[in-house]
Amino acid sequence: MAEQRENWSSRTGFIVAAVGSAVGLGNIWRFPYVAYDNGGGAFMVPYLIALLTAGIPLLFLDYIIGHKYRAAAPRAYKKLAPSGQFVGWWQTLVSFVIAIYYAAVIVWAGSYMFFSFGQKWGEDTTNFFVSDFVKHTGDLTSVFVPQMFIGLVIVWALAILIMFGGIRKGVELANKICLPLLLVLFGVMVFKAITLPGAVIGLNAFFEPNWTRMSDPNVWLAAYGHVFFSLSVGFGIMVTYASYLQKNTNLTGAGLVVGFANSSFELMAGIGIFAAIGFMAMSTGQDVSEVASGGVGLAFFVFPKIISTMGASGDFVGFLFFGSLVVAGISSLISILEVPISAFQGKFDWSRKKAVAIICGVCALISISAFSTGSSLVLVDVIDHFANNIGIVAGGLMSIVLVTWFHRKKIPGLLAHSNRISSVKLGGAWVFMLTVITPTVLTIALGLKFIDLVKTPYEGYSSTILLLFGWGVVVFFGLGAFILSRMKGIHDEEDNRARAIDDAR
């Protein structure tokens, strides 16, 4: 007999969890550099336009589908249309893969929390991370890295413990702890950063508008791409989270809160990161452009250098910064894991404990085996690049096209469902953005990225690595989604009847 579907304790509990999912590592180490590199203060214009015309409209779509059909992505999309199950499983498998390597990045950040005391990375921060810490060789290797093994075991044990707690006592409770903790840790770090000598140099570089960049289409693509990734849309998280909402929850109101809370945190991250970069630029006599970086380079190469120029106070700033990465990572990891857990529960009628044990167990086994070696940096880099730029974008694009192009007759029902319970009413503008603007931008971005990946080997990696862990991962999304969507599910007949009734309305 199926377990009764859980609910969030309140709308606030859902919003906290949704913000906790959206606010992840990318907000801290990706947004500041993307903004700086694409026009500084002027980037805020395409960023806000992208947020309003693509990010929030797609967030609303995820909420409506999850809430209306009260199921994880595969079953929710299948209730909308039979072919939709493929889209839902694609998104689910993207989350499954991301969870496997995301844990490794959390271990990196957690280790650096402790390395901050005494600044154990020394003068050559890049060599310390690459050679001493992750034992990177530049290729696939079976070199065992004990500190990664221990860290991964701890991270997965914590994640499994949280997921066993269920929605209210696990996911929601963890986010109610993590989100305030993240705001305190990062808020203190930002305050410390803006009081540093030279902080204004970095802030000027971050906010100074370069209006000429607005004519570059790549800047607009960067804005749409970042907003899309940042809000946790396109890979099943928000569909799944919305399915746990009470029946009369204000969907669009919650979506606006989540969207703008996420953007506010990104702006705060930009202020803190570039204030620290300005301090380093002044201390070393370099230009901000020589110091600024994004991604892993910012977090583990540049920021330790910044901390080392702060003297004894750097230990505290380092603890705050890397502690923020850990907390943001944990809150995002549990949201990512919830997608396959809920999906397999819905498909095979598994109990919560069985789904957590199998899904998290498999993820943990693969993650610990693959990322406890000297290959961890290569694997994270390649899998993350393909999962984000192909997997997430394609998953989001397919969900939009499914609804707005191939099943337009469903749109009035989706609008009616949202408008009946929401404060902000949706209409033609929302439909136009989802039908024209968002798919156009995502198709261009996906096409350009696909051409780029085919023409130029990503980061110069060998064809073996790119085929196995890049294109191989994309094939896994498609083949896995095809197989799972054709396996018989426990609720198939019930869902077919429900869809027939929905179509008749």
Strand partners of residue 144:
373
Statement: residue 1 has pLDDT above 50: no
Residue 84: which pLDDT band, with cuts at 50, 70 and 90? very high
Residue 25: which pLDDT band, with cuts at 50, 70 and 90? confident
What pLDDT, on the 0 to 100 scale, is given for residue 147? Answer: 95
What's the mean pLDDT in 294-300? 84
Measured CA to CA, the distance from residue 437 to residue 260 in angstroms comes to 20
3-state class of 165 per DSSP?
Answer: coil
Digit-coded pLDDT (tens) for 455-483: 999 988 999 999 999 999 999 999 999 99
Digit-coded pLDDT (tens) for 34-69: 888 888 889 999 999 999 988 999 999 999 999 999
What pLDDT, on the 0 to 100 scale, is given for residue 297? Answer: 85
Digit-coded pLDDT (tens) for 360-413: 999 999 999 999 999 999 999 999 999 988 999 899 999 999 999 999 999 999
What's the mean pLDDT in 162-174? 95
Measured CA to CA, the distance from residue 157 to residue 143 in angstroms comes to 23
Residue 497: which pLDDT band, with cuts at 50, 70 and 90? confident
Instruction: Return the percent helix, strand and coil in the chain, to nearest 5.
Output: 80, 0, 20
What's the mean pLDDT in 82-104? 96
Statement: residue 2 has pLDDT above 70: no
3-state class of 144 per DSSP?
Answer: strand
**Range name among 82-91, 222-231, 443-452 with the lowest pLDDT average:** 222-231
What pLDDT, on the 0 to 100 scale, is given for residue 366? Answer: 97
What global pTM score does this model have? 0.93
Average pLDDT score over the chain:
92
What pLDDT, on the 0 to 100 scale, is given for residue 294? Answer: 77
Measured CA to CA, the distance from residue 449 to residue 214 in angstroms comes to 21
What pLDDT, on the 0 to 100 scale, is given for residue 503? Answer: 72
DSSP 69-133: HTS-HHHHHHHH-TTHHHHHHHHHHHHHHHHHHHHHHHHHHHHHHHHTTTTTT-S-HHHIIIIII
What pLDDT, on the 0 to 100 scale, is given for residue 485? Answer: 95
What pLDDT, on the 0 to 100 scale, is given for residue 326? Answer: 95
Distance of CA 397 to the CA centre of its chain: 16
Strand partners of residue 110:
none
Q: What are the backbone angles phi and psi of residue 319, rounded to the nearest 5°? A: -60, -45
Measured CA to CA, the distance from residue 371 to residue 134 in angstroms comes to 9
Statement: residue 80 has pLDDT above 80: yes
Statement: residue 3 has pLDDT above 70: no
Q: What is the dihedral of CA 400, 405, 407, 408, to 10 degrees?
A: 100
